[in-house]
Amino acid sequence: MNTSSIRGGNTHLFIEGRRIELPYPIAKVLNFRGLVIVMIEPPPGVLFNRNVLAFTGAAEPAWQIEESPHGTERDKPYVGITRNDDDELIASNWNGVDYRLNPESGRLTVKAFQK
């Protein structure tokens, strides 16, 4: 799967020509080790903390991120997904925690506290 076979629209994603409907607009798409990682952005006032999803190169769901275990607020969506210099998948939460994501399972481990 190459990056030219992945396209994102407002609330839909195309992988190898297959359309995937998402519940909210796409904020970022990242190709990582054969997976397509998508961060979606719920509208203001909507509680949706598991807003990072992974799909296989065949457009099949692989996993959905777990909710951040840190912070006392109810609303704590992820605000960034990146690949760092160590080739790790990182999800940043608005409450100041960067999590390392296991690409096979989507499980979180704390990478760094930013605040």
Per-residue model confidence as pLDDT tens digits over 20-38: 999 999 999 999 999 999 9
Distance from C-alpha of 81 to C-alpha of 72, rounded to nearest angstrom: 22
| Domain positions in the chain | 3-113
Better-scored residue on pLDDT, 2 or 73: 73
Mean pLDDT of the chain: 88
Confidence of residue 6 (pLDDT cuts 50, 70, 90): low
pLDDT number for residue 115: 55
User: Tokens for 4?
Assistant: 């030219």
According to CATH, what is the number of the domain 3-113? 2.40.10.480
pLDDT number for residue 15: 93
Distance from C-alpha of 89 to C-alpha of 12, rounded to nearest angstrom: 22
Distance from C-alpha of 90 to C-alpha of 99, rounded to nearest angstrom: 6
Distance from C-alpha of 22 to C-alpha of 13, rounded to nearest angstrom: 8
